[in-house]
Amino acid sequence: MNPYILANKAAWNLLAKDHYLEFKRRYSLKDNLLSPDIIKELGDIRGQSLIHLQCNTGSDTLSLSRLGATVSAVDLAPDNLIYAKKLFDDFKTSGTFYEADLMEFGDTHSQKYDIVFTSEGAIGWLPDFNKWAQTIKKLLKPGGFFYLYEIHPFFLMFDEDAFPNQELNIKYPYFGRQMDRSETIGGYAAQTRQGVSYYWMYSISEVVNALINAGLKIEFINEFDHLCYNAGNMIETKPGEYQFQKWIGKMPLMFSIKATL
Ligand SMILES: C[S@@+](CC[C@H](N)C(=O)[O-])C[C@H]1O[C@@H](n2cnc3c(N)ncnc32)[C@H](O)[C@@H]1O
């Protein structure tokens, strides 16, 4: 395994229990935790086989199951999968979970699905988008589709430490898939912990072109003015949707893609 991915595996393990507890708490308040954008854009998925890539502790996977899909999921960190199975057991739901590095998963996994799904803070952990897109293609049945709901790379350029002061300072280059090393991990649904992790910046064109080059047909790409978590001093404009007071409706914070095989 790539040494950077090995480090990420150890780092993500550190957050698994916190994520499980937080998502379990959220499910005690609400039946479905998926963003309304996702629910609208996915459409009716009842009876479809679906694989969730980079599932973390299975929170979005559980919501996808509640929309009626037969769910499978894959993640790098073994502790994430232990807690994903626990979350499914807690809510008496069935799902199939695989532990794998997504950069290698497609080499051995031969099952195919109607839908391949990825959401919120996932793809920047992957160093090679061409391999990623080829894996998605391998996992899809003919006529199936890939759906991505992800943080907009425009937003990822800015220094996160300046967000609480409502300042946008460019820190990370948009172009070139530069790798960033961080001493900590966490923040969106868990306490930040000490643990070295590596993240690769991406551009919209790199993501779209990788899917096109793998042979998928882009059905749509959409951009959204809200973020899926509070990055610091943001306001919740709708449940689960966050924006900076200063720039409401003015900047892209999430994007989505649907691509078919
Ligand atoms: C921010 S989380 C995604 C959260 C997700 N939206 C959910 O449903 O909770 C990113 C996930 O990517 C996983 N990951 C990182 N690198 C990976 C890799 N090379 N292969 C598979 N999973 C990976 C991490 O373990 C982590 O669970």
Q: Where are the domains of the chain?
A: 3-260
Residue 32: count other Cβ atoms within 10 Å of its Cβ. 16
Cα(242)–Cα(229) distance, integer angstroms: 6
Output the six-digit token pair for 200: 């690769």
Can you count the helices (H) and strands (E) in the chain?
9, 11
Residue 246 carries which DSSP code? G
Distances (CA, A) of 7 to 1, 69, 196: 10, 33, 7
CA of 246 to the centre of ligand 1 (A): 31
CATH architecture of 3-260: 3-Layer(aba) Sandwich (3.40)
Ligand 1 pocket, residue 256 CB under 6 Å = no
CA dihedral 201, 204, 206, 211 (to 10 degrees): 130
pLDDT of residue 234: 95
Q: Which two tokens stand for residue 27?
A: 């499910």
Measuring from atom 13 of ligand 1, which residue has the nearest CA? 54
Tell which residue, 71, 66, 102, 75, has the closest CA to residue 20: 75
Lowest mean pLDDT among 16-30, 154-168, 178-192, 204-218: 178-192
Q: Which of 4, 15, 56 to mutate to test the pocket of ligand 1 (most atoms within 8 A of CB)?
A: 56
CA–CA separation, 245 and 260 (whole Å): 37
Q: Distance from the CA of 54 to the center of ligand 1, in angstroms?
A: 4
Q: Is any ligand 1 atom within 6 A of the Cβ of residue 5?
A: yes
**C-alpha 58 to ligand 1 mean position (Å):** 10
What's the gap in Å between 10 CA and the centre of ligand 1? 12
Other Cβ atoms within 10 Å of 166 Cβ, number: 13
Task: Evaluate if residue 187 carries a pLDDT over 70.
Answer: no
150 lines ligand 1 (CB under 6 A): no
Residue of 216 and 232 predicted with greater confidence: 216
**Tens-digit pLDDT profile for residues 47-85:** 999 999 999 999 999 999 999 999 999 999 999 999 999
Band of the pLDDT at 186, cuts 50, 70, 90?
A: confident
Confidence of residue 189 (pLDDT cuts 50, 70, 90): confident
Q: What's the rounded mean pLDDT across residues 129-146? A: 98
Q: Whose CA is nearest to atom 19 of ligand 1?
A: 101
- Give residue 119 CA to ligand 1 midpoint distance, Å: 9
Model pLDDT, residue 191:
80
Q: What residues form DSSP beta bridges with 73?
A: 52, 97
Q: If you average pLDDT over residues 187-208, what whole number do you get?
A: 90
The mean pLDDT of the chain is 96
Q: How far is the CA of 159 from the centre of ligand 1 (A)?
A: 22
Predicted confidence band of residue 93 (pLDDT cuts 50, 70, 90): very high
Pocket test for ligand 1, best of 76, 139, 188 (most atoms within 8 A of CB): 76
Contact 7 CB / ligand 1 (< 6 Å): no
The Å distance, Cα 229 to ligand 1 centre, comes to 16
